[in-house]
Amino acid sequence: MTTKKHVLVIGAGPTGLLTAYGLAKQGVHVTVVEERAMLDDSPRAMVYLPSSLKALDDLGLLEEAEKVGARGHAFTMRFASGYIGELDHRVLQVHTPYYYTLHFGQHVLAKLILEQLLKLPNASVLWGTRFNRVVDNAQRVAVEVSTEAGEQRLEADWVVAADGARSAVRKSLGIEFEGFTWPDTFMATNVYFDFAAHGYCENTMIADPVNWAVISKISNDNLWRVAYGERTDWTEEERQANVAKRYEHFLPKGASYTLDRASSYRVHQRCASTYRAGRVLLAGDAAHATSPIGGLGFTAGIQDAVTLIEALGLVLKGHDEDVLDYYAAERRRIFLDIVNPLAIEHKRRVQEADPERRAQDEEGFRKMASDPNYVRNALMNLFALVSTPYSADWRDRLGEQDTREPHAMPLFTATDD
């Protein structure tokens, strides 16, 4: 008689729910543990790069996502000189069906996944259940949780920690969150305004040492995210009171808009010292934190889920547990070698204060935007960078540097030119 395998997923954000859904579709019994009484309704991340679209498609979720999302077909960089450079994603159309970005809040994705997850008889969610600590991590794993009824002990074959950058699971295991916190403060505002009517594409960065901004479409009803830097020595009330003045740099003079929400936060570049501790596996923000400029942290979390679904699924079917060492090592490598430095570079470009470097950035963008082949290759590399498909030769590659060209990954078809 085969013993049913059980996985606990701590955290009902997109990464946790996606991992739970992918495993449950394989027949694994999955329980999601979430401290909140319901899903977090904050839009937070909202841009889905092509590698994320492929992940959703592979799990049968893209069709529903398309119904609620707004498509993006270009990225623009606005420089202080007045030059506006555009990279049109449609140059990829002959190479991949995922030649666009999709825009909708991550809370909408979480709801979409949850609806599908709860249709499966082998999946459940424990709301209002706070993780306290890991009490056993040997042949099976046991965790202590708190509910309104008191403390309880939950057991499973494996635990996936997807409980965010402040991960209680990571802290419980004593795993270091290595890296640093940026000294500046970011302001994230959601506003109803027709940016498209004023020449903004769905993904826009404004490069300016003082009035930099990232402006991205959130939904089809003209809800947009405007993120910018704000004074760290101010109180939250002072930052909130300054929103209208800051908007003067991004919106036409006298423009009418409706502010939906605004909040400030600090930005981190951090990575867990390991993504695996015995039978506990880290994924998403619990494993890494990065600047949101460029959308790479959210994208990396989705790819964590995709890789973990396959790797853990194989182990639950009897394969060697070392495949999870591949997951832990490879996803950590992708973050440290690619996601982290690229996110830092994106942040530098929009905030660069040195006039010479700003001029170099602009000249480089002009050259790239004027060459369709350059645009194609740049976008193919960018969109595939954080995507690491499960590899059948993981034993040989465990601990080795992956030297494949990003655009040679399965996301794109091969080309002769």
Report the domain count for the chain.
1
Domain of residue 97 covers 6-178+269-408
Tokens 């449950």 found at? 24
Q: Is residue 202 in a domain?
A: no
The pLDDT value given to residue 412? 35
Comparing C-alpha atoms, which of 170, 162, 221, 227 is closest to residue 32? Answer: 162
The pLDDT value given to residue 414? 32
The pLDDT value given to residue 55? 93
268 beta partners = 181
What does the alpha-carbon distance between residue 350 and residue 379 come to, in Å, rounded to a whole number?
18
Q: Is residue 233 in a domain?
A: no
Q: What is the residue-wise DSSP string for 39-60?
A: --------EE-HHHHHHHHHTT
The pLDDT value given to residue 94? 85
Q: Is residue 222 in a domain?
A: no
Q: What is the residue-wise DSSP string for 185-243?
A: EEEEEEEE--GGGGT--SEEEEE-TTT-EEEEE--TTSEEEEEEEE-TTS-HHHHHHTH
| CA distances in angstroms from 252 to 199, 226, 290, 306, 324, listed in the order given | 11, 14, 31, 42, 52
How far separated are the first and last CA of the chain, in Å rounded? Answer: 55
Comparing C-alpha atoms, which of 35, 10, 91, 15 is closest to residue 375? Answer: 91
Q: Is residue 252 in a domain?
A: no
CATH number at residue 135: 3.50.50.60
Q: Are 108 and 41 in contact (CB under 8 A)?
A: no
- Three-state DSSP class for residue 132: strand
Q: Are 390 and 342 in contact (CB under 8 A)?
A: no
Q: Is residue 131 in a domain?
A: yes
Q: Is residue 102 in a domain?
A: yes
Q: What is the residue-wise DSSP string for 133-161?
A: EEEEESSSEEEEEEETTEEEEEEESEEEE
What does the alpha-carbon distance between residue 264 and residue 89 come to, in Å, rounded to a whole number?
31
Give the pLDDT confidence of 230-269 residue by residue, as tens digits. 999 999 999 999 999 999 999 999 999 999 999 999 999 9
DSSP 8-state class, residue 36: S
The pLDDT value given to residue 4? 79
What does the alpha-carbon distance between residue 316 and residue 157 come to, in Å, rounded to a whole number?
9
The pLDDT value given to residue 3? 60
β-pairing verdict for 74-79 and 203-207? parallel
Which residues does the chain have with pLDDT short of 70?
A: 1-3, 382-417
The pLDDT value given to residue 384? 64
Encoded tokens for 336: 């440290």
Checking 231-238 for CB contacts under 8 A at 24+ apart, the result is 231/185, 232/183, 232/184, 232/185, 234/185, 236/263, 236/264
